[in-house]
Structure 1
Amino acid sequence: MSTDRWADLKPRVASAAVMLAVGAIEIWLGGWWFLILITLLTAVMIWELARLSKPNQPGMALAIAGFAALCLIADEGWPSLSAWIVFPLVPLAFLAIPRRQQTAVAAISVAVLVAGHGLFVLRDEAGTVAFLWLLGVVIVSDVMGYFAGRTLGGPKFWPAISPKKTWSGTIAGWVGAAVLGLCFVLAGYGSFWLILLSPFVAFAGQMGDIVESWLKRRVGAKDSSTLIPGHGGVLDRFDALVGAMVLVMVLTRFFDLPIGG
């Protein structure tokens, strides 16, 4: 077995353990404490997008990130300020000054904001169990994909954009998500539809990762930043969660999630 294949495993596990511990505390506390965490993560991802698309203006990147944080807090803290009013201001900030992959970055910034809003609403309104299911689907899909892809190998999923991703890892992620959905159903927290929904949410997460990989290739960057050892940047770590949350937000416009508690 090649040690190079698993060279990044130790820092990935250590960083993931810290993030899970912090996340667990914030999820348990809920309310404003959880909003602060979500706002911080959202702002950092927006900052990374700004740096990737215009790296020679760090002050501008911080300004856009701060503005995004204010928009998210305003939307959650003052319901009269609808997301439809404040969220479009952030992509407009990206479009105001020429930058690399400008349209794509502006669109991704909308997805990040919608995901940040969705994570807070899911925890606050749908409940902790629904939030843990979504988080679990993304984590299980990522872990299963990582180990299956590196163990089994095989044909690449989309080599032109993400050369490390394989079909074996992608399908393993879907299977893992379905099994997790089954576990929630057997525990009495969901209906049969949750088993079918979970792989689609996992796929949306995988597409979130693919989109970010595409952006990094287009701007010539390996990682969105170097903030998290073994993972790169916050966007590198949470791109799948953004994709999954956006899909869930779209679906909840048409029907209730088949999970409760």
Structure 2
Amino acid sequence: MPTGSDALADAEGKPKKNSDLPVRFASAVVMVAIACFAFWLGGRWLDGFISVVAAVTFVELVRMVWKAWSNPVGRLIGIVAGAGYIGFAAWALIAADSYYLIAAVGAVVFTDTFAYFSGRAIGGPRIAPKISPSKTWAGLIGGMIGAALWLGLWVATFHYTSGHTSLADFWEATSEDSLGAALLGAILAVAAQSGDFLESWLKRRAGMKDSSNLIPGHGGFFDRIDGLLPVAFIVGLLSGVA
């Protein structure tokens, strides 16, 4: 699945070749399988999985900050800010129940997927070509639509499985909540794209193509969850779990 800040372009803005597609697909399958297994186990296993991902992401961020700034003050500010940014997002995901966790992850997945296909199909003006050449306004709007659909449907599904058996009862319980959730989904899509831009800016300042090479064909952990971090941040605040 195409996610992350530079799925379509390298550090110079040139399209990536598809020669590594089998590797990228295999890596994506493994990543999804591990994440799903951790979610299925739940409890300390899931908490541990989130903590490990957050810890590796923080190490990658420190490496980028160290290369991006040469003065000690800049490095210190970047590392402290990164620790708060990643740490709070990780705590929000750990503290959240499965309802909010699935809502947050689903919003990012739908944002990235819809943004990818709408961006490729429509094209058009780029948002910030010097930071992330692959990001277009069409992709952003597509991502907002995707996240809105996901969150609206997720809330409706939750209401349905909570005992609203009649159609009238179901519609009354979900119509207003789903519309509100759809609006929130669009906002989360913007947040996810902002997370992509933040990491892209940091990588370019550091002169790095990827945050690391830990995941074959995908770069590093930061490259994979850059959009999830601000979404987790917002969901944690709204849900009151962090």
Map of 1:74 onto structure 2 = none
The residue number in structure 1 matching 2:198 is: 211
Q: Quick one: which amino acid aligns to residue 106 of structure 1?
A: V
> Which residue among 128, 135, 144 is the counterpart of 1:174?
144
Superposed CA deviations along residues 70-114 of structure 1, whole A, max 9, x for unmatched, are xxxxxxxxxxxxxxxxxxxxxxxxxxx927654234312211000
Q: How far apart, in 1, do the equivalents of 2:66 and 2:78 lie?
A: 13
Partner AA of 1:27 in structure 2: F
Residue 158 of structure 1 corresponds to which residue in structure 2? 128
Secondary structure of 1:164's partner? coil
Change (3 A) 1:99 1:53: farther
Asked if residue 244 in structure 1 is aligned to residue 231 in structure 2, the reply is: yes
Structure 1 unaligned blocks of 5 or more: 56-96, 257-261
The amino acid across from 1:251 in the alignment is L
Report deviation, 1:30. 1.3
Residues 6, 196 of structure 1: alpha-carbon distance in 2 compared, 3 angstrom cutoff: farther
Distance 1:195 1:148 in 2: 18
* Matches of 2:48 and 2:139, distance apart in 1: 34
In 2 relative to 1, CA 168–10 (structure 1 residues): closer, same or farther, beyond 3 Å?
A: farther
The equivalent of 1:65 in structure 2 is none
- 1:43 corresponds to: 55
- Distance in 2 (CA, whole Å) between partners of 1:53 and 1:155 is 30
Using CA pairs below 8 Å that are at least 6 residues apart, which structure has the higher relative contact order?
2
Deviation for aligned residue 1:176: 0.4
Q: Normalized against structure 2, the TM-score is what?
A: 0.78
Query: 1:223 matched to which residue of 2?
Result: 210
**Which SS does the other structure have where 1:147 is aligned?**
helix
* Secondary structure, counterpart of 1:154 in structure 2: coil
Task: Note the C-alpha offset of 1:154.
Answer: 0.9
Task: Decide whether aligned partners of structure 1 residues 10 and 157 sit closer, same or farther in structure 2, where only a CA change above 3 A counts.
Answer: farther
The residue aligned with 2:32 is 20
Cα distance in 2 for residues equivalent to 1:188 and 1:117: 24
* CA distance in structure 1 between the aligned counterparts of 2:22 and 2:107, rounded to whole angstroms: 22
Superposed CA RMSD: 2.3
| Corresponding position of 1:58 | none
Q: Indicate the residue corresponding to 2:95 in structure 1.
A: 121
Contact 2:131–2:201 under 8 Å retained in 1: yes
Instruction: Normalising by structure 1, report the TM-score.
Output: 0.72
Structure 1 distance, partners of 2:73, 2:217, is: 28
CA distance in 2, matches of 1:151, 1:51: 36
Alpha carbons of 1:100 and 1:217: their partners in 2 closer, same or farther (altered >3 Å)? farther
Match of 1:106 in 2: 80
After TM superposition, the runs of 4+ consecutive aligned structure 1 residues lying more than 4 A away are: 99-102
CA–CA distance in structure 2, aligned partners of residues 140 and 39 of structure 1: 24
Task: Kindly state the Cα deviation for residue 184 of structure 1 after the two structures are TM-superposed.
Answer: 1.5
- 1:178-215 deviation digits (Å, cap 9, x = unpaired): 11122213324462221111111121111111111111
Residue 148 of structure 1: which of 107, 115, 118 is its match? 118
